[in-house]
Structure 1
Amino acid sequence: MKLHRIIIIAFLATVFTACEDKLDEEVFSELSPSNLLNNEKGMSFLLNASYTYAHRNNDVQASWGAYHMSSMTAGETWGLGGSIENLWVAEIDFTWDSNHSHFLSVWQVHYNSIRDANLILDNLDNENLSEEFKQLTKAEAHFLRGWNYAALYNWFGELPIYASSEDELLQPRATVEDTRSFIEQELTLAVNGLPVEEPQFGRASKGTALAVLCKFYLNTKQWQKAADAAQDVMDLGKYELLESYGDIFAYDNEGNPELIWVLPKDGATLTETGQGLNALTFPPDFPVPFSNNSVFAARTYLFDDFVNSFEETDTRKEQIITEWTSTNTGELVTGLGNDQSFPYKLPFEPNSIGAWAGNDLPVIRYADILLSRAEALNEISGPTQEAIDLINEVRERAEATPYTLAGFTKASLRDAILQEREWEFYWEEKAREDQIRHGVFISRAQTRGKNAQDYHVLFPIPQVELDANPSLEQNPGY
């Protein structure tokens, strides 16, 4: 069952309005403003609200903006058309600035989740709450803070840290060391307190927290910790590679055992809990499979060099559309050969409302854990049979030729792992962070003719946030 959108502010506004209209009436509801944080039902509503923001469900631009911030900047995709084109051009050409709306959307949605998680942690010391409820809710709130801060750190670097709802609002940015330490602390607390089985689809489990911690360690190049966290996920025995690559993303196979952390979406209920990635990928004359599907004017394309880089037997390229028949002209349109193939990992949904679909967005899959451990082991000790075996688990599922240990150096295996990640995780919000970690994000952009500078490895703090908080300092270069 998916978590549905909870708007706490709107709820409180409604309650307060009702009270003003009938001042002589006493309110005894468990969810009245005075009781909201005083019982398990109210605290659960607030927890769901924090998850809703963490899933990027209150702002459709945050949902797709995170994808484009990764994919367009890394040269994985390019796009044109529609009102979003100017935002894409800035990301493609490295001409973005602090007023780019994608940056503001992701900043605000994740800090909103942190705000709600802080309210939860500040109000758990309450005799009306059972010990079991307190322990689980506390662990989930720590996970939410760790996940949100880790995502923001990935994009913006060191952050203002809010550890309580009572903290001074105009916080300066913490140091890199303090930011990293806080993220590690929160995720470790979550690992130690969460159960192996998630309480509800879309909520965190021990494996979820370990996987986010693993990726945090990997992206900060803490290789041994990354390798150990990956092994801890594997040792749970809960996750596995599916036999078919395409089945990972099938709409009727959501919640499958390869998916460790996903952002649940529901396009058939509320627009802002859906996602519009396909609507921003395919052109208006694309033959959508269901009459209720619709698309925008914008299109998202893959480059020919990438599409042609797959081994002939590799089944992962089957999630790419290289030609299609126009519904306007009836003619075959060839994408491959024109840098206009489409990524199609998220199938059109039969229950969507127009452009808004309910395909859940994968964040961390079991394949990512296997390749993360392989990468960390290579950085620690150079090529090993264990690292090769981990990579081959992923390659063999895709029917690609297995690797052998002979002939690899640390550098050449590092390059092979990055290439493997590109084949495995295209159009999954991984390209930018992978290239940054491997030290090629800027150089590849420069090779594409972009005016990319070293400071572009971080995005600018949104100008709106700088204007509201004089204690914040902008990232260098902006």
Structure 2
Amino acid sequence: MKRLIYLLISVVLTTSCSDFLNTAPKDALSPATTWKTEADANSFAIGCYQDWIDGEKLLYQDCGSDIGYNQFPWEEWNPIGNGTLTASATGANFYDFTTIRRCNAFVENVQPIPFSNEADKLDLIAQVRALRAYKYFELNFWYGGVPIIDTYTTAEEAKVPRNTEAEVKAYIYKELDELIPNLKEMPSQKGRIARGTALAIKMRSALYWGDYQRAMEAAQAIMNMHKYELDKDYTNLFTIKGQSSNEIIYAIPYAENIAYNEIVGRMYNNADGGWSSITPTQNLVDMYEMNDGTPREESPLYDAVHPFSNRDPRMEMTILFPGQVWQSKILNTLDKEVNGKENPNYPLVADNASKTSLSWAKYLAPLEQYPNMWQTATSPILFRYAEVLLSFAEASNELKGPSDNVYKVLDEIRLRVGMPAVNRSKYGTKETLRELIRRERTIELAGEGLRRADILRWKDNNGKMIAETVLNKVLYRVIGSIDYTQTDPHKRAVIDVNASAETRKLETRQFIPENRYLPIPQSSIDKNPKLEQNKGY
């Protein structure tokens, strides 16, 4: 697959800069040959952006949680989801310092270079430092303490021990606080980091580590910019035409025929020509409230035989479910045969059929937007404004409990899709509102790669990670058939509530407290014996 750097080159660089990158070694740009002009510095900064965030990996990340499923172990998220990780079979690997090394080299060598505008220089340096801070945040969250590395002249020098998690966190916080004032409010080019993105990194990292005051202040700072707003059309965000939405703070850029995203093809179901590699689970369906604003367990509207009926509209906007009209046909993932012919979307018919009987609608609908589903311009969203509002709500509630400001931002998110405002009396305490905020965050951001981190950081009333409950279960799909005489698409799927557990079973999942952190790859420890493996691996 073409890499991100080619898109950034096409969007950002001049011809002379492109010539420079074509002739200089991209991973070993020496100061003697490159650090002379402002154009040289800009060229090296583009190299720092290469693969700083993997948009394809982002689409897989919910498969490491209860709301997503990756059916193919070799795609690396199945073992994270079912807890079969080992040091030699780590699943998806985040343990990579390539971006950090490039950013180190940039920061160390850029200072003597004269720029025509000092503000542009400070902005460029801040961009690169933000890339580096994000990579350290990613490493530190998934692995715990990691080495804060310098530039080394020999492999022996590079054999350094891990810093503590607290030390890395302090480093990230200091970097972000220093660089944010130097960033421009809006990016000069597509794919560049600006102040809103850096504030979002600050917000998310603080929220993940439970520093709620810092998280709330960062979210408020983004809100105070008045540059972002909720898109009136929720589904628009996840389409090619919606990539310019004011709700999107940062999306990982891809382009057809240049630096394309081929993971979308893996997400479509078998009959559409896809692989069903990344699918939502029935667990996610069960989390959506009924359209009366109450959980399914409490609402008279819930019918287990028709579980897709009367749900929060975001369910239909997020998930392709059996019974709805898809590609001008009734989507059937439940019956083994349709009109006397084998159903290509039946879970047990083909490897590429969705094993959960569900597919994501986000990024997939409409299929017509892609001339080639294997070479798309889909740009997965890393940060959007709804996350800012939800982060503000969570942090504020944890600090001070319910308030008008918290209810206001939650209502803004819910009313956008036609859901009722928050029931103030039902969710009038910190504990009950926490439950609602967590559910709202899960369904609003489903399929966007945040759920695994959330269930690791969230605790229950006994201080136990939520992941220890939701991932220590058997993963099930629904069994049933499609009623073609039914005109309501939400009731066409008729679920067999008496189907045996064995026929519904997808896999047995496990999660132990040590799975809070991913295993450091054994290959990395072999190269650097000073690294200590995480407990449990």
CA offsets per residue over residues 89-141 of structure 1, 9 Å max, x none? 3123200122346543x322xx2111111111101222443433421221111
Partner SS state of residue 53, structure 1: coil
User: In structure 2, do the counterparts of structure 1 residues 225 and 132 end up closer, same or farther at CA, with 3 Å as the change threshold?
Assistant: closer
Q: Which amino acid aligns with 2:46?
A: N
For 1:451 and 1:330, the matched residues in 2 are separated by: 34
**1:375 alignment partner, one of 394, 412, 421:** 394
Are residues 1:459 and 2:518 paired? yes
Aligned to 2:446: 426
**2:424 alignment partner, one of 405, 409, 412:** 405
Q: TM-score, structure 1 length as denominator? A: 0.84
For 2:26 and 2:195, the matched residues in 1 are separated by: 37
Preserved CA contact (<8 Å) 2:90 2:518: no
Aligned-residue offset at 1:451: 2.9
User: In structure 2, do the counterparts of structure 1 residues 165 and 232 end up closer, same or farther at CA, with 3 Å as the change threshold?
Assistant: farther
For 1:226 and 1:245, the matched residues in 2 are separated by: 25
Aligned to 1:120: 106
Are residues 1:180 and 2:166 paired? no
Partner SS state of residue 34, structure 1: helix
For 1:227 and 1:96, the matched residues in 2 are separated by: 34
Aligned to 2:434: 414
Alignment of 1:137-156 (within 5 A): 137-156=124-143
Are residues 1:384 and 2:371 paired? no
Aligned to 2:350: none
Q: Percent of pairs identical after alignment? A: 24
Aligned to 1:236: 225
Preserved CA contact (<8 Å) 1:65 1:102: no
For 1:184 and 1:220, the matched residues in 2 are separated by: 11
User: In structure 2, do the counterparts of structure 1 residues 464 and 275 end up closer, same or farther at CA, with 3 Å as the change threshold?
Assistant: farther
CA RMSD of aligned residues (A): 3.1
Preserved CA contact (<8 Å) 2:99 2:135: yes
CA offsets per residue over residues 381-412 of structure 1, 9 Å max, x none? 11112111111111111211110322322111
Deviates more, 1:216-225 or 1:150-159: 150-159
Are residues 1:341 and 2:358 paired? yes
**2:456 alignment partner, one of 404, 427, 436:** 436
**2:44 alignment partner, one of 43, 46, 71:** 46
Are residues 1:363 and 2:408 paired? no
Aligned to 1:214: 203
> Counting helix residues as a fraction of each chain, which structure ranks higher?
1
User: In structure 2, do the counterparts of structure 1 residues 264 and 12 end up closer, same or farther at CA, with 3 Å as the change threshold?
Assistant: same
Are residues 1:3 and 2:20 paired? no
Aligned-residue offset at 1:313: 5.8
Preserved CA contact (<8 Å) 2:270 2:345: no
User: In structure 2, do the counterparts of structure 1 residues 372 and 33 end up closer, same or farther at CA, with 3 Å as the change threshold?
Assistant: closer
Name the larger-Rg structure.
Answer: 2
Partner SS state of residue 64, structure 2: coil
For 2:126 and 2:528, the matched residues in 1 are separated by: 30
Aligned to 1:77: 68
Aligned to 2:253: 264
Preserved CA contact (<8 Å) 1:2 1:201: no
User: In structure 2, do the counterparts of structure 1 residues 355 and 169 end up closer, same or farther at CA, with 3 Å as the change threshold?
Assistant: same
Are residues 1:285 and 2:240 paired? no
For 1:32 and 1:146, the matched residues in 2 are separated by: 23
Aligned to 1:322: 321
For 2:185 and 2:105, the matched residues in 1 are separated by: 25
Aligned to 2:260: 274
For 2:149 and 2:121, the matched residues in 1 are separated by: 21
For these two proteins, the number of residue pairs brought into alignment is 441
Preserved CA contact (<8 Å) 1:84 1:298: no
For 1:216 and 1:435, the matched residues in 2 are separated by: 15
Q: Which amino acid aligns with 2:24?
A: L
Q: TM-score, structure 2 length as denominator? A: 0.75
**1:225 alignment partner, one of 190, 214, 218:** 214
Preserved CA contact (<8 Å) 2:473 2:510: no
Structure 1: where are the runs of 5+ without partners? 17-30, 57-62, 287-293
